[in-house]
Amino acid sequence: MNDLSVPEHLAGVVAKFIRARDLLNELDGLALEYLIAHPASFDVVPHPESNSYTVTAHVDPPPLRLAVVFGDALHNMRSVLDHLARLLVVAHGGQPVDRPPGATMFPIHMADPGRPVTISPGISDRARTVLTSLQPFLHDDPRSHPLWRLSELNNIDKHRLLHVTSLSGAGGVAFVPAPLDPTVPTTQEQRRHTVRLLPEQPQTFTVTAEEMHVPAAMAGTWSYTVVLGEPDAGFTEQLVGIGRTILTFLAEAALPELAPFTSPTR
């Protein structure tokens, strides 16, 4: 979103959007710094009696700063919507309400509220129609809707730091004799096993007799990234990706569809 030629009444909304975008860019850089500075290590324990290995990953947890920056980005994205809500009320000739009950805020509904979706104390009929069309409850999977995800994560962050962790995206390794010789490449004939980066959680792999080595190491490649570890709330994806999905929805849906109804002349 370009902040040039922004209508004066939308300057605050755009400023919040740009701040959220900048925080996500900062978060991307912090995540990369962490991944480079803290490579994972693995313990490989052979069990020749059962033709299996136990693999345990070790990696330093991401710094708390990642959770703090992500929370700040969420706050600014939520502020984009609430600033927009106030403008919709003002454009309709109303006076925004700062405190409960009936405070002016952008509504986000995962379930049909059974009443017209609006913003207190009132917005235009056309704006209300658009506002309703953006709601998660009209989506096939409301819990995956960007607005609902923003609402859930922002509410969690109000009360505690979000849990940021590391997890492998993919990994294909072969078990080889230890110590590992980095100059010897793995071959296409060697069976590959998918190893996930689950810190301090042992994983068991059953192998053939030809794959058993005592002592043993792993050869191959695996990748890992910074993810949001909030499985109880339904979030286990890549951290920056979640933020960018929400920001994109604001830029491509919420703002362009509702901004026309914020003009003070309406």
Residue with tokens 């590992």: 180
The C-alpha atoms of residue 210 and residue 174 are separated, in whole angstroms, by 11
Q: What tokens were used for 20?
A: 């959220």
The predicted structure's pLDDT at residue 266: 46
pLDDT tens digits, 2-34: 555 789 999 999 999 999 999 999 999 999 999
The C-alpha atoms of residue 144 and residue 214 are separated, in whole angstroms, by 46
CA dihedral 141, 147, 150, 155 (to 10 degrees): -90
The 3-state DSSP class for residue 138 equals helix
Q: Residue 169 carries which DSSP code? A: E
197-210 mean pLDDT:
92
pTM for the whole structure:
0.86
With CA atoms as reference, report the closest residue to 227 among 150, 162, 143: 162
pLDDT tens digits, 75-88: 999 999 999 999 99
Q: What is the mean pLDDT of the chain?
A: 92
Beta 41-47 vs 164-177: how paired, if at all?
unpaired
CB atoms within 10 A of CB 178: 14
The C-alpha atoms of residue 112 and residue 45 are separated, in whole angstroms, by 53
pLDDT higher than 70, residue 125 = yes
The C-alpha atoms of residue 232 and residue 205 are separated, in whole angstroms, by 27
The C-alpha atoms of residue 154 and residue 24 are separated, in whole angstroms, by 15
With CA atoms as reference, report the closest residue to 216 among 199, 201, 188, 195: 195
| Confidence category of residue 169, pLDDT binned at 50, 70, 90 | low
With CA atoms as reference, report the closest residue to 226 among 19, 43, 33: 33
pLDDT higher than 70, residue 224 = yes
Quote the distance between the C-alpha of residue 265 and its chain's center: 38
CA atoms within 13 A on the CB side of 19: 17
With CA atoms as reference, report the closest residue to 178 among 47, 54, 46, 39: 46
Amino acid letter, 27: L
